[in-house]
Structure 1
Amino acid sequence: MIDSLANVLPHFRNTNSGQFFLMAGPCVIEGEDMALRIAEKVKHMTDKLQIPYIFKGSYRKANRSRLDSFTGIGDETALRILQKVGREIGVPTVTDIHESEEAALAAEYVDVLQIPAFLCRQTDLLVAAAKTGKVVNVKKGQFLSGESMQFAVDKIRQSGNEHVILTDRGNSFGYSDLVVDFRNLPAMRSFGVPVVMDVTHSLQRPNQSSGVTGGQPALIETIAKAAIAVGADGLFIETHPTPATAKSDGANMLALDQLEALLIKLTRVREAVR
């Protein structure tokens, strides 16, 4: 795990390289070898492009449509893998938590605690995450405007923690689709916090009759370019060596071998709009 918040926070502002930062990794930790391989490859790409990198991996998936959906390999096992990734690859790590009781446990292993979009109004969860002293990344609910996320920021700050990030992941559009309203990014940035665009989750097609969420990965580049042009501080991209075999959210992931080419294009967009 990164030694201090002072070493983590520079990843969340465009001050040193002038680049956006990247949160990327698999949807869920499937095993140690895969996690380390993904982190190492992404770190190699981001180092070349001077993009600050935070490894992302859920230690457990609690929000599943079906009872037989994959949820994880065990909490302690997955958290130890996240810790090992941070130590061996030398990057900050982020994972999501679902209940207030999980905050202190996860904080022992990772640098950033993430609040899932469906839970962004859960006061006890936000307060528990804030009180760990970790950076807290709150995903905007699909049912909320960017302006309404001020209250999530206030809850964390009023709990004694100024280290807040807000992430957009689209808004519900009908029963089985999402749409991205890019007005949300400047609205949330006005609260004085870094803002992130969750590119891959915003392309989900939820509530499919199969009980497995669909997606539109062909539009990943479109959403990412637009977010950078609007001024996002960071991007969130789930990636996997073989999305078709991923145990969670494979339908909207980016194949790992396509990530570097996308990042190169995005650094050019960033340079053009600076």
Structure 2
Amino acid sequence: MVKEIKLNENVIFGNNRPFVLFAGPCAIESEERVLKLAEGIKKITDKLNIPYVFKSSYDKANRSSIDSYRGPGIEKGLNILQKVKDEFNLPVISDVHTEEQAKMAADFLDVIQIPAFLCRQTDLVTAVGKTNKIVNVKKGQFLAPWDIDQVVKKIESTGNKKILLTERGVTFGYNNLVVDMRSLPRMRKTGYPVVFDATHSVQLPGGAGDSSDGDRQYVPYLTRAAVGAGIDALFLEVHDQPEEALSDGANMVRLENLEKILKQAKAIDKLVKEDL
């Protein structure tokens, strides 16, 4: 049994409840596209009765190339996310990269995410913990599952025990990631809910030379496997036209395919948790 973390009446993580969905485009490309995707994903999650938190990044600081698109920046990006909250009554999540961003983002975000590459940055981790918001830690591609225990202790040192832990694949050779499904139950031993990021797990970091590549065809397979292993939330980056996406298009789920993936995941989740 893992700790139950309540965002609102509809979004509750852990304690063998149905999984929560984090979903949206990798980066905020425009207000129009963000609102279109938020509305489209919400229609699907409402239909399937899946708790939903909108995700998109105002700044993709960890890009392969200096020329890669990063996003609109924190001020404009947070205002766009606020419009998602206001228009669709959805909670939102985005990532922060500095202590200063953590303080500013806390006024807008319902869940603050710590990027995988920054999960061992003590000052950043504790700054996010001090906001007293729900913290979602992306486990670094360079960490073993048990290494996340020390990250948890850093956040707990701030008095914040609203922690989510995300598996997003581990470095395997050059430009490749693999997922060890054993990491999901191991990270749950911390007592905190576990999230599976199915789209970054099929990323090929730097695989296109000046940008990352990816293989979205494997997202449904990894999703089914992770839900079968037992998770508390599912993280999927979604786009209406991934080929046109300005960030991580190769591993994002096409909006028109999302409902099928979620239907399968929900059926497996129900089956797994009935026995717990």
TM-score (norm 1): 0.94
Deviation at 1:249, TM superposition (A): 0.4
Measured against aligned partners, the alpha-carbon deviations of 1:147-178 in whole angstroms (never above 9, x if no partner) come to 11011111111111111000000000001100
1:266 aligns with 2:265: yes
1:163-182 correspondence to structure 2 within 5 Å: 163-182=162-181
1:219 aligns with 2:218: yes
Deviation at 1:6, TM superposition (A): 5.1
SS of the counterpart of 1:101?
A: helix
Mapped contact 2:181–2:229 kept (Cα < 8 A): yes
Give, as a single letter, the amino acid of the residue that structure 1 aligns with 2:11: H
2-structure distance, mates of 1:141, 1:98: 14
Counterpart of 2:159 in structure 1 is 160
Deviation at 1:75, TM superposition (A): 2.0
1:62 aligns with 2:53: no
Cα root mean square deviation, aligned? 1.5
1:24-39 correspondence to structure 2 within 5 Å: 24-39=23-38
SS of the counterpart of 1:125?
A: helix
Mapped contact 2:14–2:232 kept (Cα < 8 A): yes
2-structure distance, mates of 1:155, 1:67: 31
Structure 2 residue runs without a partner (length 5+): none
2-structure distance, mates of 1:256, 1:121: 33
2-structure distance, mates of 1:209, 1:37: 29
Deviation at 1:12, TM superposition (A): 3.9
1:192 aligns with 2:181: no
Q: Which runs of 4+ in 1 moved over 6 A?
A: none
Q: What is the aligned residue count?
A: 269
Specify which structure has the bigger relative contact order, considering alpha-carbon pairs within 8 angstroms and separated by 6 or more residues: 2
Mapped contact 2:7–2:110 kept (Cα < 8 A): no
Measured against aligned partners, the alpha-carbon deviations of 1:74-109 in whole angstroms (never above 9, x if no partner) come to 321111001110121111100001111110111111
Mapped contact 1:118–1:142 kept (Cα < 8 A): yes
Mapped contact 1:19–1:50 kept (Cα < 8 A): no
Percent identical: 48
1-structure distance, mates of 2:187, 2:15: 19
Counterpart of 2:120 in structure 1 is 121
